[in-house]
Structure 1
């Protein structure tokens, strides 16, 4: 019996390591797009993986694992944004000025690795409801149906947010070009 339990734990650990390798970086980027704090994004992803570990026995019941794990990360990031502690610590602290400075932070290099700096910064400047659909659609290559499932929002609403998000992104990028900032 003990050998069976050890084999189960070994399989669970290997499974967790696999999903951490596969989703870790992408989920961290996704969480960062909500909270704009790299260490907080990493904490969120760690909590997501703990949840995955706890739900290992029920994993076969999940229809789309990718949608489920992204939903966990999005919900946790939104919970952090709503928390009064986040607002007190990040928004009202002198650290907030670091996140809005013109200089790129070291951790931003991971987010900006495959995209131009201006585009990445412009996407991060979008309001959350537009930012999340832009990121899921273009960066994570989710379909409208997948985004609908992830966010629990009507497909037409997602299309509208994509169109408005693209318009706002264009405005932001044009301002960057004009201002040179």
Structure 2
């Protein structure tokens, strides 16, 4: 592919899909800057492999797959596990001390919902997020996650069931 055409195509891809990919990455890594790094890595891989893309799937699902793989690799990394252990320890220490009234702020309903979704196990959170927030079909989710369609259907059903229970417990649904 001609270099100028490749650069123009990458720029179009970045403009069209950048925000969605950052949101997708955030749903995995739960840190805005890390999510941006994951997406930057996605675009680098996209650029490097654009000549080999066969259009068996859409660019969107290809980018989602790359981003998800980037995030999963990050979450398996030694550095991430070390940081998570440190944060868990610090959080445990903070919970030993009483919170002041000023630090307790009532969350907006949308924030509560997001927190409830993020509290789901990763396999349910992933399909719920892709289905409801990214409006991917079950077939697209299967393609992006490289999982069987029936697995996606059952995870979506079970994720909804768990989310309904969490919503009832939080008094949002009822």
For the superposition of Structure 1 and Structure 2, which TM-score range results when normalised by the shorter chain?
Answer: 0.7 to 0.9
Deviation at 1:94, TM superposition (A): 7.0
Q: Compared with structure 1, are the counterparts of its residues 23 and 102 closer, same or farther at alpha carbon in structure 2 (3 Å cutoff)?
A: farther
Q: How many residues align?
A: 159
Name 1:82's counterpart in structure 2: 76
Equivalent position of 2:99 in the other structure? none
TM-score, length-normalised on structure 2? 0.81
Deviation for aligned residue 1:128: 0.8
Q: Distance in 2 between matches of 1:96 and 1:169?
A: 28
- Asked if 2 retains the 8 angstrom alpha-carbon contact of 1:147 and 1:158, the reply is yes
Which stretch shifts more, 66-75 or 166-175? 166-175
**Of 148, 151, 161, the match for 2:142:** 148
The question of whether the paired residues in 2 share the 8 Å contact of 1:118 and 1:173 is answered with: no
Change (3 A) 1:119 1:93: closer
Match in the other structure for 1:118: 112
Residue in structure 2 matching 1:55, options 45, 49, 52: 49
Choose the corresponding residue for 1:24, options 18, 38, 42.
18
Give the structure 2 partner of residue 135 of structure 1: 129
1:149 deviates by 1.4
**Shift of residue 10 of structure 1?**
2.5
Q: Which runs of 5+ in 2 are unaligned?
A: 92-102
Extract unaligned runs of 5+ from structure 1: 105-111
Task: Say which SS state the counterpart of residue 87 (structure 2) adopts.
Answer: coil
Deviates more, 1:61-70 or 1:76-85: 61-70
Structure 1 position 164 matched with structure 2 position 147: no
* In structure 1, C-alpha distance between the alignment counterparts of 2:105 and 2:27, rounded to whole Å: 17
Answer yes or no: is 1:175 the counterpart of 2:169.
yes
* 1:69 match: 63
RMSD (Å), alpha carbons = 2.6
